[in-house]
Chain A
Amino acid sequence: MSGWLGPEEWQALALSLKVATWATLAALPLGLFVAHALARWQFPGKQILNGLVHLPLVLPPVVTGYLLLLTFNPTAPVGDALNAIGITFAFRWTGAALAAGVMGFPLMVRAMRLSIEAVDPKLEQAAATLGASRIWVFFTVTLPLILPGVLAGAILGFAKAMGEFGATITFVSNIPGQTQTLPSAIYAFLQVPGGEGAALRLVLISVVVAMGALLASELLARRLAKRVGGA
């Protein structure tokens, strides 16, 4: 197997998995919170929050990447402040994870919001009358019922993170071993003569990973739906 893939290709695959995993794990709780707020709460500025969440979906990825660079580069106030407490995003794998997380966020929130809206608020009311506070209602009734949606959101986010290219390359460039994810590596291989073979192998891996993720999510979602349906 290791003979089939060169060290540089392995590096890109491992980095992509790491970046996508962290991007998904970090975005999940925040996404769940935002999805819940958008689905259930009324507050001023709700439409603005909704717009902000969806912005990465409609902006050119290059623009998102450039905005991230403007915000998080070490000379900008935000980047500088984070730098001071030991968090650096620019030109690091963490930056790639941030870009991937931001790009996958709207997909995640959409899937989770839809599933939260499908939960009958009457069940949540019933839980409250039985003595459950708001936070307990969420963890014992809402969350179990929306688990298929959360899972679908997470898988979508993960897949998006695996494939994210434009924002990543703009924000953290294309440094092998540091920020060179699968798509960046494919792009790089295509720029050099004789790189088509390596590019093709990475393309194949991308397809397999994406298909696997989709099938897994479908399967899990079906199982959960059956359990919740109670049949």
Chain B
Amino acid sequence: MSLSVHIRQRLEGFDLEVDFDAPPGLTALFGASGTGKTSVVNAVAGLSRPDRARIAVGDWALCDTGQRLHLPPHKRRLGYIFQEGRLFPHLTVRQNLHYGAWFTRRHGPGEDMARVVEMLGIGALLNRRPGALSGGEKQRVAIGRALLAKPRLILADEPLAALDEARKAEILPYFERLRDEAGIPILYVSHSPAEVARLATTVVALERGRVARMATPGELFSDPGFRPAGPRAIGAVLEARVRLHHDDGLTELDAGGVPLFLPHISEPPGHPIRVRIAAQDVTLSLDAPGRISALNVLSGTVDEVQAGDGPGAVVAMKTPAGRVLARVTRRSVAALDLKPGLACHAIVKTVSIAPGDVGGGA
């Protein structure tokens, strides 16, 4: 089901003017803090009242100020996963999980409790209270609670922002499964390019309360001109498949016929994978590299060169694996005379690909 969002709302500092119609799957609201991401989600949830709005899931309208329609939050059939979990401290984990299901029981049977508990690995926690859980455990319970409320729309507001890298890596796969299996539209707020590149079907990039860009992560992140979160956040996303796991702890991927080596991941051979290659981890070479330690070499031609305001530039390369971005200095651009059409090699160290940058592709 698609998600249609049109909002006009006066906020402190700027006006929210957001319009998008997102296809089924996971729609990521992406942008720096203070761009209105949470305001959009709260309007969709019914927690705030926009001046003018039309919000619909498929053909089911949640809010239509033209028709004087504003469903209260409890009638919107939501599964809202908050940044801080917001578990009820006076209830056990089991009671928290049942909370939403009880109110929506008249809508027929929903997700099977046992299946959700199993998927999230929270079986051992059921009799505990939220106060006794770690941050990652709380967040998994919060996901379960949202799923069991029989939602027609899942909202997630920076659900991983409060967690450390290890906990993020633990929870990201659940969102991938949700996107691939639940068949419910997901609106996911994040300021992390790695998360968005990995999870999103569609990215809606916000800037000062407006939609700056709407595209697939592949299109958006391979555009050297798109850098809403600073130069360090630039990095293209490649679609690949697991080829095999080597004995020395490396996993070999097949990206459009090109082998890519990265630290071991758990997905089985044949599994589709998205890999984000941060532009600052890519080295360019005009000659085919000889005896070097980096394992990944992507050969292709320069497609686009975008000089920044500072000493840096972003070079986009066309390779059989897809578009790759490299962040280099303007001095190097001049020294190598990099310009569109030039044959070139991109060198990527295996160890520079972080686990958070790799995920199951859609």
- How many whole Å from A111's CB to the nearest CB in chain B? 19
Selected from A126, A133, A141, A230, the residue in CB contact (under 8 A) with B82 is A126
8 A Cβ contacts from B26-54 to A: 45-47
User: Are A145 and B90 in touch, CB under 8 angstroms?
Assistant: yes
User: Are B88 and A122 in touch, CB under 8 angstroms?
Assistant: no
Interface check A132, CB cutoff 8 A? yes
Contact string, A194-231, partner B, CB cutoff 8 A, digits 1/0?
00000000000000000000000000000000011111
- How many whole Å from A57's CB to the nearest CB in chain B? 31
User: Are A131 and B131 in touch, CB under 8 angstroms?
Assistant: no
Selected from B45, B84, B89, B104, the residue in CB contact (under 8 A) with A131 is B104
User: Are B90 and A130 in touch, CB under 8 angstroms?
Assistant: no
User: Are B84 and A141 in touch, CB under 8 angstroms?
Assistant: no
User: Are B89 and A126 in touch, CB under 8 angstroms?
Assistant: no
User: CA A228 – CA B132 in complex, angstroms?
Assistant: 11
The residue on A at minimum CB distance from B133 is: A230
Selected from B75, B88, B89, B104, the residue in CB contact (under 8 A) with A229 is B89
Interface check B175, CB cutoff 8 A? no
User: CA A140 – CA B78 in complex, angstroms?
Assistant: 18
The answer to whether residues A227 and B90 also contact, given A129-B80, A130-B100 and a CB cut-off of 8 A, is yes
User: Are B149 and A130 in touch, CB under 8 angstroms?
Assistant: yes
The residue on A at minimum CB distance from B155 is: A129
The answer to whether residues A122 and B130 also contact, given A144-B90, A230-B89 and a CB cut-off of 8 A, is no
User: Are B90 and A129 in touch, CB under 8 angstroms?
Assistant: no
Chain A residues with CB under 8 A of B269 = none
User: Are A231 and B86 in touch, CB under 8 angstroms?
Assistant: no
- Give chain A's interface secondary structure class: helix
The answer to whether residues A126 and B90 also contact, given A133-B74, A136-B103, A229-B131 and a CB cut-off of 8 A, is no
Chain A residues with CB under 8 A of B76 = 129
User: Are A128 and B84 in touch, CB under 8 angstroms?
Assistant: no
The residue on A at minimum CB distance from B149 is: A130
User: CA A207 – CA B77 in complex, angstroms?
Assistant: 55
User: CA A162 – CA B330 in complex, angstroms?
Assistant: 84
Interface check B73, CB cutoff 8 A? yes
User: Are A230 and B74 in touch, CB under 8 angstroms?
Assistant: no
8 A Cβ contacts from B81-129 to A: 82, 84, 86, 88-90, 99-100, 103-104, 129
Chain A residues with CB under 8 A of B77 = 131
Chain A residues with CB under 8 A of B129 = 230-231
User: Are B89 and A125 in touch, CB under 8 angstroms?
Assistant: no
User: Are B90 and A131 in touch, CB under 8 angstroms?
Assistant: no
Chain B residues with CB under 8 A of A231 = 129, 131-132
Selected from A123, A131, A145, A227, the residue in CB contact (under 8 A) with B74 is A131
Interface check A82, CB cutoff 8 A? no
8 A Cβ contacts from B61-81 to A: 72-80
- How many whole Å from B241's CB to the nearest CB in chain A? 38
Interface check A34, CB cutoff 8 A? no
Interface check B145, CB cutoff 8 A? yes
The residue on B at minimum CB distance from A122 is: B86
User: Are A228 and B90 in touch, CB under 8 angstroms?
Assistant: yes
Selected from B86, B103, B145, B146, the residue in CB contact (under 8 A) with A132 is B103
User: Are A145 and B89 in touch, CB under 8 angstroms?
Assistant: yes
User: Are A125 and B47 in touch, CB under 8 angstroms?
Assistant: yes
User: CA A127 – CA B131 in complex, angstroms?
Assistant: 18
Contact string, B244-262, partner A, CB cutoff 8 A, digits 1/0?
0000000000000000000
- How many whole Å from B286's CB to the nearest CB in chain A? 56
Chain A residues with CB under 8 A of B72 = 128, 133
User: CA A125 – CA B45 in complex, angstroms?
Assistant: 10
8 A Cβ contacts from B132-167 to A: 132, 145-146, 149, 155
Selected from A127, A145, A227, A228, the residue in CB contact (under 8 A) with B99 is A127
User: Are B86 and A123 in touch, CB under 8 angstroms?
Assistant: yes
User: CA A128 – CA B104 in complex, angstroms?
Assistant: 12
Chain A residues with CB under 8 A of B145 = 130
Chain B residues with CB under 8 A of A132 = 74, 99, 103
8 A Cβ contacts from A126-162 to B: 126-133, 136, 140-141, 144-145
User: CA A126 – CA B72 in complex, angstroms?
Assistant: 13
Q: Which residues of B approach A to under 8 Å, CB–CB?
A: 45-47, 72-80, 82, 84, 86, 88-90, 99-100, 103-104, 129-132, 145-146, 149, 155
- 17 A-B pairs with CB atoms under 8 Å apart are A125-B86, A126-B80, A126-B88, A127-B99, A129-B74, A129-B78, A129-B79, A130-B74, A130-B80, A130-B103, A130-B149, A131-B149, A132-B103, A227-B90, A229-B89, A230-B130, A230-B131
Known: A129-B45, A129-B47, A145-B90. 8 other contacts (CB 8 A): A128-B47, A129-B73, A129-B78, A130-B80, A130-B149, A131-B75, A144-B90, A230-B131
